[in-house]
Amino acid sequence: MANEENKNKEVKPEEAQASEGEQLLVTYKQLHDMFGGVKEPYSENFKESVSSVPFAVVDCYGDFCFACELLEPTFNSIAERMPGVEFMRINLTQNFDIQMEMEIFDLPTILFYRYGKLVTKEIGSIDEDTFKEALSLLLYPKE
């Protein structure tokens, strides 16, 4: 019985070492976090998420937002090509507190952070060229 309980336990990614015959369950979110891609922070750790990396780009979207759906492929495509930048998406329909705190009134809104500080924000479904210009400002500041 004890062996059966250990067989299907959920583990942290850093503990994911299975002995022969042992099955480990790793959640989709854990796999996603382990291997990169666009992450979805929670409202409780939003500030920590954007502050814990040098560069972060956050797509603020909402349920039933057509413009948000149009932006998603561009956002994901750029995220795949920019390994040094942390790309995140946060659903403001479910995280209203962040929407109010960040004073975001239009969706989609993309936030660009450098070392936890907001550098710029783009409002609306932007094209790839505009996205790249904003990324350029993030990565190569004009000082």
pLDDT (tens digit per residue) in 38-60: 777 766 788 898 999 999 999 99
- φ/ψ of 56, rounded to 5, equals -135, 140
Return mean pLDDT, the chain. Answer: 80
CA distance 93 to 65: 10
pLDDT of residue 20 exceeding 70, the answer is no
Give dist(CA 88, CA 86) in Å, integer.
7
pLDDT of residue 41: 72
Amino acid at 65: C
**pLDDT recorded at residue 142:** 81
Give me 50's structure tokens.
Answer: 């954007």
